[in-house]
Amino acid sequence: MSNQIIASADTQTLWAVIEDSPGVFKAPAATDAVLVTENMTIKQEREFLENRQRMPSLSKAGTIAGVYNAGEWSAKCYIQPSGAAGTAPVPGQLFKALMGRETVEAGTQVTYSPAKLGDAMPTISMIAVRGWDTYYISGAVVAKGSMAVKASGDDALLQCTFSGSFLRMRLAGTDSLAAAATVGATALTVADARRYDVGAHVVVGTD
């Protein structure tokens, strides 16, 4: 019997990595994965402006698409030691983006400290998977991190809620093929291409 991957509303994973250039998407590695403990929040609104053109029609002219407003995101996850002294914990990339400074002492410890005046605050790229939908986020900042520390109950397992804003979001949704795919094809035609933003990535097999 072949293995199958079944997606549900509870299938949520986040990958986060510090960007080399602010706002320029950088693909995270498999080791940058963070399993969330609550539903992620990801949203970005776009401005739509009234079309004031006098049209030769009794119908009102459609709106004009404007700029994207800054997006908002949040994710909650466990703080997990790496298991090796001097190796960043999960989620180390989010901690670095939150605090601003990461100091690695090989074989000893990893510490995070507030950025100093003049330091450039890190920005991050993220891939967020919710069910069958995949979000590609660039230019994200971690503006807030909150942790509840208790000796019993769920809070005895240290968790942190990270939140902030981002510059741009691209979506790769789920749709059916408009025509059967052929071996060696370099393009796939779907029934509704509006479910995919330009710049999103779609994996077909091992390609």
Q: What is the mean pLDDT of residues 39-67?
A: 85
Joined together, the tokens standing for residue 130 give 């919710």
The pLDDT of residue 147 is above 80: yes
Smallest CA-to-CA distance from 142 within 206, 94, 175, 103 is with 94
pLDDT > 70 fraction of the chain, expressed in percent and rounded: 90
Positive or negative torsion for Cα 185, 15, 132, 140 = negative
Q: Which residue has the higher pLDDT, 70 or 2?
A: 70
The three state secondary structure string of 53-80 is: CCCCCCCCCCCEEEEECCEEEEEEEECE
pTM: 0.79
What pLDDT is attached to residue 104?
93
Is the pLDDT at 2 greater than 90? The verdict is no
Question: Which pLDDT belongs to residue 141?
Answer: 96
Could you give the CA distance from residue 27 to residue 33 in angstroms, rounded to a whole number?
Answer: 12
Stretch 44-73: mean pLDDT:
85
- CB contact at 8 A, 141 and 166: yes
Whole-angstrom Cα distance, residue 72 to residue 45? Answer: 9
Kindly state the tokens that stand for 181: 């795919």
Q: How confident is the model at residue 17 (pLDDT cuts 50, 70, 90)?
A: very high
pLDDT band at 155; cut points 50, 70, 90: low
